[in-house]
Amino acid sequence: MGKNAHAENPCGGIITLLLPLLTRTLRLKVRREAYAWLNAAAAEVNEIYNYCNETGYKAATRTDIKRRWMSGFDLCYLTAGASQYFEKIGASTIQSICVHYAQKRIAARRVKLRWRVSRGARRSLGWIPFKAAGLKRKGVCLRFAGKCFRVFDRERLEGVKWQGGCFAQDPVGDWWLCLPVKQEGQESVAPLEAVGIDLGLKAIAVTSDGERLEAGRWTLRFAQKLASAQRRGHKRQAKRIHRKAARCRADALHKFSRQIVDRYQNIVVGDVSSLKLAKTRMAKSVLDSGWGMLRNFLEYKSQQAARGFEVVDEKNTTVTCFPCGALTGPRGLNGLIVRSWVCSNCGALHERDVNAARNTLIGSRCWTSMRGNEPSHWQILPSSAYSVREAGIETARAAA
């Protein structure tokens, strides 16, 4: 629960507001002198993880009446006392591995997960979980399992109470300390009311007010350097180039999402599926755009700033005329070339992406049934959903 805040009531008295507590993960880079110890500890973590994987699979595939899905408590009971056979990790880390494995297997709905490999070309990235009490401050260092670590930007941990986190390794080989912390939400009033966002390829995001985030083409920008590194067999340099492209993409999406959250109170985004389009010829451009990452950024930043965030169906938003609601826009693959079009019904000139963003915003305001399968007098047909305006909603109320 959050802390209490007080506000004045216009009718007199004081209103008590409950500000929510949000979870944020601090990601701090570990200094290089601890990499050897972390690599050895990660190999021991893989042994425990694979033991849980094998034991859980055997218990779930038994042919007698003792067949069962083992929980995290069951795995912790079976691994009790195993810490004496390992040099790096302790009992709290082993329990964290068992609980995490049980939760991940339930989420995946599979009797067996992928094995964690400690050596070779297919080596799994290092991962060492721990409980909140397993990591403690010691001067300018952090102490875990009898080992002291130094991290960059340790000032961010001043006055912070963390929860159970983990040490995680990236593809380049660097180690990062990931700590979930609780932070109080900060309520503020945005200067503008609402915005609709249309996701695309030529422009990653276009708002209903005409602002746009142009496609960075980060994969294409580093394609020559990446190909040169791969031809020369420099795997580590190739991984660094991949990380550079990912950081450039994340930086652009972070800046754009921050501007949107600071400016608008309600944010509406279309539900375009990047996973489905990734199976087409546009896969490279779709994955380079980072639509899912942008939606995640907008969602958690909206929660932190007490903004409204919604993902709506974007069907027919491109072909629907915003003023009159007629379906006169360009269709099909050949229609993707058309960036501006004139409505044959009302004669309005539209920019394709801006018109789609406006229809996305209007579509989020439609009245829909909230009572299950029974018919609703407030429900609006999908064919006319994007032609609804505020006046139209009042008309629908009066007609009902």
> Each residue of 259-285: pLDDT tens digit?
999 999 999 998 888 888 888 888 888
Nearest to 241 by CA among 222, 261, 266: 222
What is the C-alpha to C-alpha distance for residues 219 and 286, in angstroms, rounded to an integer? 11
pLDDT value of residue 105: 94
Confidence of residue 352 (pLDDT cuts 50, 70, 90): confident
The kind and range of the H/E element at 75 are helix 72-78
Q: Within 10 Å of residue 391's Cβ, how many Cβ atoms?
A: 8
pLDDT value of residue 33: 94
Q: What are phi and psi of 163, to 5 degrees?
A: -105, -170
Q: Within 10 Å of residue 336's Cβ, how many Cβ atoms?
A: 15
Confidence of residue 117 (pLDDT cuts 50, 70, 90): very high
Q: What is the β-pairing status of strands 135-138 and 212-214?
A: unpaired
Nearest to 67 by CA among 56, 54, 76, 78: 56
pLDDT value of residue 315: 82
Exposure class string for 190-220: b at 16+ Cβ within 10 A, else e: beeebbbbbbbeebbbbbbeebbbebbebbe
DSSP secondary structure letter of residue 123: P
Confidence of residue 17 (pLDDT cuts 50, 70, 90): very low
Q: What's the average model confidence in pLDDT over 101-113?
A: 93
> Cβ-count burial of 306 within 10 angstroms (0-12 exposed, 13-18 middle, 19+ buried)?
middle
What is the C-alpha to C-alpha distance for residues 246 and 287, in angstroms, rounded to an integer? 11
DSSP secondary structure letter of residue 189: -
In this structure, are residues 213 and 205 in contact, taking their beta carbons and an 8 Å threshold? Answer: yes
Angle at 181 between CA 180 and CA 185, to 5 degrees: 125
Higher pLDDT, 185 or 356: 356
Q: What is the β-pairing status of strands 264-270 and 308-312?
A: parallel
pLDDT value of residue 370: 31
Q: Could you give the percent of the chain with pLDDT greater than 70?
A: 86
The answer on pLDDT for 126 being more than 60 is: yes
What is the C-alpha to C-alpha distance for residues 254 and 298, in angstroms, rounded to an integer? 9
Question: Could you tell me where the DSSP H helices lie in 139-290?
Answer: 218-221, 223-231, 235-263, 274-277, 283-289
The answer on pLDDT for 236 being more than 60 is: yes
